[in-house]
Amino acid sequence: MNPTRPPRTPDFEPYKLPPVFETTLANGLEVVLVEDRRFPLVTARLGFQAGSKFDPPYLPGLSESTAALLTEGTKTRTARRIAEEMAAIGGGIKADSTPDALIIAASALAGPLPQMLDLLSDVACSAVFPPREVALRKQNRRQELLAQRSQADFLAAEKFVEVLFAPHPYCRQDPTLESIARLSRAGMTAFRDRHLAPNDAVLILLGSLPSRRETLELIRARFGDWKGRRVPLSPSARFSRPKRSITVVNRPGSVQADIRVGRLAVTRAHADYFPLLAANNVLGGGASSRLFRIIREKKGYAYDAHSAVAPLRDSGLASVITQVRNEVLPRALEGVLAEMRRLGQRGVSPRELAATKNYLNGVFVIRLETQDALASQLAGIRLMGLPLSYLEHYGPRVRAVQLDRLQAAAAKYFDPEASAIVVVGDAEKLVPPLEKFGAVKVEESR
């Protein structure tokens, strides 16, 4: 053994899903049963193609608020009763909205599975959006949004998706003060009735389940009478061609600049996804990444500098994110663009690629350890239109990434000349140094 060399990390074994059974009820509801008998628990996900991209243009945030209020009262249960019944069976229930999907999440001890399914069905099918809860939601969400809009990182993320995705509905992922004021019980009920249908949904049950026959009988008894119906089509997946642009969101008095640099990328199903994932990890995926080492450690421009890949059902984002002092903005941005360019022009070494593969596979396996995490992954995979076997193929696809494919993905998706730049800060101080990078558009924060 050579003590000057680290030991070789053995290859990760491919991830293997627990036993899975899939079927579809007569009303179109997809059912996925996954056995996990390590603990006496059951975790559920009921997911719909009903995310924020389905919000009307004048009402961003409708899907988000509809999800939040599903558990605040039904035809037979108050919000308090729902909470008490879930607590009594050792569980909880909530609903959230993403750009693509609305997902109801529930968990409980395995024994009272019938009671958990009762509550899940009631929330999905019979929510009434009580006027008092709607008013409280509007009040709280308004205060939350005001707090969010006082943060530069929120403003940067908001403007970044607007610049990249417009006019597609992905460009509106958060509500506005005006849209919150327009929220109504009637609007939420209509959204629920249009989008939450069994023939456009997947139900995942994961855990210590009864026999398959008994479990399916429990599901049919609670969801079998749910009537299928035609649901709205997903918005057309048409997006603008990537190009260089520079946008400054004016935040007078800011002593630092919040920077986003990036472009539209790809979905999980695209052939470039895994090479891009590896390229992203090398560029800015952690404390050993190039951005972290150069922009933070060597140059001292920022406390944090990282990159991210965010796949959606119809598109995706590849971005670099950092926050720097006003006086170092031009040098920091030059450094970021240089590292993006260098990765695409020179690629990575075999050693870097091997370390990246080990890291990605190790983190992936760790993230699937809990029932909650696995259920979320399964729901997300299915709602993105991918087979459940995607999780088993993840490791082999990471290991299959080659040096030339990684470099090609980096050259395309981290190309500085095809990347939008969004900076939030004091426009008076930031625009002059930014003009060396191109024409600058200034917008006032809303």
Provide the percentage of residues in the chain whose pLDDT is more than 70. 97
- Phi, psi of 235, deg, nearest 5: -55, 145
**pLDDT higher than 60, residue 45:** yes
**pLDDT higher than 80, residue 11:** no
Q: Which domains does the chain have, with CATH numbers?
A: 20-223 (3.30.830.10), 245-444 (3.30.830.10)
Would you say 38 and 106 are in contact if contact means Cβ atoms under 8 Å apart? no
Q: Give the pLDDT confidence score for residue 13 in this predicted structure.
A: 73
Average pLDDT, the chain: 95
Q: Give the pLDDT confidence score for residue 15 in this predicted structure.
A: 84
Q: Give the pLDDT confidence score for residue 445 in this predicted structure.
A: 82
Q: Give the pLDDT confidence score for residue 8 in this predicted structure.
A: 63
Would you say 319 and 260 are in contact if contact means Cβ atoms under 8 Å apart? yes
Q: Give the pLDDT confidence score for residue 286 in this predicted structure.
A: 86
> Could you check whether the bond before residue 40 is cis, i.e. omega within 30 degrees of 0?
no
What confidence tens digit (pLDDT) does each residue in 98-120 have?
A: 999 999 999 999 999 999 999 99
Q: Give the pLDDT confidence score for residue 12 in this predicted structure.
A: 63
According to DSSP, residue 78 is labeled: B
| Mean pLDDT, range 82-111, rounded to an integer | 97
Q: What would the DSSP string read from start to end of 324-372?
A: EEGGGHHHHHHHHHHHHHHHHHH---HHHHHHHHHHHHHHHHHTTSSHH
Q: For residue 156, which of 421, 420, 423 has the smallest C-alpha distance?
A: 423
pLDDT band at 312 (very low <50, low <70, confident <90, very high): very high
Q: Give the pLDDT confidence score for residue 3 in this predicted structure.
A: 59
Q: Give the pLDDT confidence score for residue 283 in this predicted structure.
A: 97
Q: Give the pLDDT confidence score for residue 88 in this predicted structure.
A: 97
Would you say 368 and 377 are in contact if contact means Cβ atoms under 8 Å apart? yes
What confidence tens digit (pLDDT) does each residue in 228-253 have?
A: 999 999 999 999 899 999 999 999 99
| Mean pLDDT, range 209-237, rounded to an integer | 95
Q: Give the pLDDT confidence score for residue 287 in this predicted structure.
A: 87
- CB-side exposure of 330: number of CA atoms within 13 Å? 11
Give strand pairing partners of 74.
Answer: 127
Q: Give the pLDDT confidence score for residue 424 in this predicted structure.
A: 98
Q: Give the pLDDT confidence score for residue 446 in this predicted structure.
A: 75
